[in-house]
Amino acid sequence: MLPKRSRKLQTWKGALAGRQDDAETIAELLRREHGGSHRAVKQIISMTDASERTVKHWMAGQHGPDTVFFLRLLTPPGDVGARGNGRSTRGAQTCCCAGSSLVS
């Protein structure tokens, strides 16, 4: 609900209140699931098609992944349908719902 006295919305004081908190939380989850080794970086690179430097920034908590990369992190590795036809999509804009009947 909107506040009646001021025009600004109040900041949310939930678990993920800002970008830095998001980045630190994602970094912690990545380290917990994959570890902190160079092999973990390579695994995340193969899952997301992101650069090595970008993944290292994610794991250090300097910034979080963009939406496309975040969705690729959430997609199981064996799910080819969400990544297209199995080819690398580095540099190309793809949509996971391109083949569905909802897109006209």
Q: What residues make up the domain containing 51? A: 19-75
The reply to whether 89 falls in a domain is: no
Span 10-40, pLDDT tens digits: 666 666 567 888 899 999 999 999 998 999 9
Is residue 103 included in any domain, yes or no? Answer: no
- pLDDT given at position 3: 59
Residue 87 lies in a domain: no
Cα–Cα–Cα angle for 56, 38, 25, rounded to 5 degrees = 45
Buried-state track 82-101, b at ≥16 Cβ within 10 A, e below 16 = ebeeeeeeeeeeeeeeeeee
Residues of the chain with pLDDT under 50: 85-104
- Counted domains in the chain: 1
